[in-house]
Amino acid sequence: MSRAAVFRALAEGADLTQVQEQFGLTHNGLQNIFQEVADYYNTLEGGVWTLYCDGASRGNPGPAGAGVVLVDPYGEVARRNLEYLGQTTNNVAEYRSLLLGLKMAQNLGIKKIRLCSDSELLVRQLNGTYRVKNPHLLALWQQARQELAQFETVEITHVPRELNDQADHLANQAIDQERQAR
């Protein structure tokens, strides 16, 4: 079933019930297709999307997780993601969360992005205020700069921890889920 075929059937006058039967779609399935198309057109309209990212490490180094929240130009949460990162430092987790979020944004075709992080180190390194002195962060910084260059506009902002609570929660959830899986 292709999305184009669903929309072609609707454009040719089929009603929603006919389309659901023809393509074996539930109400939620049809609703998801419309949501994906709405998200896609939001990206084309050129609004600025906001990416909240956070990394967490328990022990520094210790078990680490990444959490990201992507907010559309209308202020609605469009996507969330989390990833367990294994044993690493907090700063590495911060960069890995950023890279996870940037990939997610690129996969949606987003062109304008505002990055929000509660990591002063990450924000200041990316904005050029701080040099990257740590060799193991340099490769991640370079990768982040390459990924950021793929966007038409980029704004990198430090936010207080309480404004990044959803991403923080996801990063910690990734660690907790890994512990429970053992």
Domain ranges, ordered by start, for the chain: 3-44, 49-181
Longest dimension (CA), the chain: 62
pLDDT of residue 42: 62
Give the separation between CA 45 and CA 74, rounded to whole angstroms.
Answer: 11
pLDDT of residue 56: 97
> Which positions ≥6 away from 89 have C-beta within 8 Å?
57, 60, 61, 64
Closest C-alpha to 69, from 46, 92, 85, 53? 53
- pLDDT value, residue 38: 75
The type of residue at 38 is: A
Q: Where does 49-181 sit in CATH, by number? A: 3.30.420.10
What is the model's pLDDT at position 142?
97
List all residues 6 or more positions away from 118 whose beta carbon is below 8 Å from its beta carbon: 54, 158, 159, 160, 161, 163, 164, 168
Stated as kind and residue range, the H or E segment containing 76 is none
Q: What is the pLDDT along the chain (182 residues), one digit of tens a residue?
A: 677 888 888 888 888 888 888 888 888 888 888 888 777 666 656 689 999 999 999 998 999 999 999 999 888 999 999 999 999 999 999 999 999 999 999 999 999 999 999 999 999 999 999 999 999 899 999 999 999 999 999 999 999 999 999 999 999 999 999 878 77
